[in-house]
Amino acid sequence: MDKLIITCAISGAEVMKEHNSAVPYTVAEMVREAKAAAEAGAAIIHLHARYDDGTPTQDKDRYQVIIEAIKKELPHMIVQVSTGGAVGMSRQERADVLDLYPEMATLDCGTLNFGGDEIFVNTENDIIYFAERMNQQNVYYEMECFEKGHIDMTLRLIKKGVIKPPYHYSFVLGVVGGMTGEERDFHFLKESLPEGSTYSVAGIGRFEFTLAELAIKHGGHVRVGLEDNIYLEKGVLAKSNGDLVQKIRELAKKYNRGIATPNEAREILRMKKQ
């Protein structure tokens, strides 16, 4: 098996300090959490920008400040920006960060109920818009799929030539309104991927570590982080993103999976050189 690529989603757009005081808002806090994740073994930092008061933003200037600060401390780290933003943001607002020509970005592949009255909207035209922008700007995309229909959408857009290889997916499972994170769900999605794809699994809340172990066992990759889960174990808050990454590192030992460095991750994912 390839070495394990660990992505760490350090901040998110919804989780707040009221949930876990380690959630980063400021630039200094973002750097602190990125370093903790990297030191524990993360190769990719999944980044949602925040203002100092915790408000999520897709403003490219704020992203640039955060990315530059992280890269100053971690020059080889892959920084994956979010184009999902936060619920209610417009297509143009969410795409603002692409003007920075990031190395890697997420491509959300379908609409999803997010609980209550919240709907995370990703129409077919939204997906085409983001994919074409990323193709033009040589941005490597990770296709975020919250359920099987989202994978089917990617297959349709692959046939149309909109989504181009290499194909790298992220299964985001356990979101309220999306697919749950049981073992059957993992296998259903894994077996639906186009040939030659790579994939990572992000389990939300209680699904984080059970799904991580499945991905490790079956040759996939893993995303963890305070965006997805604030607990190290039931009732025990993680003290940092690094705690969550370290737990994955220990799980990987069980299956003799080495941990990929950022450069090794680039090779495994067949990322184009910038």
SS (H, E, C) 88-127: CCCHHHHHHHHHHCCCEEEEECCCEECCCCCEECCCHHHH
pLDDT of residue 274: 44
* 141 part of a folded domain: yes
Angle of the 241-254 helix axis to the 208-217 helix axis, nearest 10: 40
pLDDT band at 211 (very low <50, low <70, confident <90, very high): very high
CB burial of residue 104 (10 Å; 0-12, 13-18, 19+): buried
What domain range includes position 238? 6-269
Diameter of the chain by CA atoms? Answer: 47
Q: Which amino acid is at 5?
A: I
* 219 part of a folded domain: yes
Residue 138's Cβ-side half-sphere holds a number of Cα atoms within 13 Å equal to 5
* 49 part of a folded domain: yes
Q: What are the pLDDT digits (tens) for 188-208?
A: 999 999 999 999 999 999 999
Q: Six-digit token pair at 169? A: 């997916």
* 140 part of a folded domain: yes
3-state class percentages of the chain: helix first, strand second, coil last, to nearest 5: 40, 20, 40
**CATH classification of the domain holding 64:** 3.20.20.70
Q: What are the pLDDT digits (tens) for 253-270?
A: 999 999 999 999 999 999
Question: Average pLDDT for residues 11-34, to the nearest whole number?
Answer: 97
* 1 part of a folded domain: no
Q: What percent of the chain has pLDDT over 90?
A: 95
DSSP per residue over 119-153, as a string?
Answer: EE---HHHHHHHHHHHHHTT-EEEEEESSHHHHHH
* Residue at token pair 């660990």: 6
Q: What percent of the chain has pLDDT over 70?
A: 99
Q: What are the pLDDT digits (tens) for 138-166?
A: 999 999 999 999 999 999 999 999 999 99
In a 3-state reduction of DSSP, which class is residue 155?
helix
Question: Average pLDDT for residues 109-119, to the nearest whole number?
Answer: 92
Please state the domain count of the chain. Answer: 1
Question: Average pLDDT for residues 56-76, to the nearest whole number?
Answer: 97
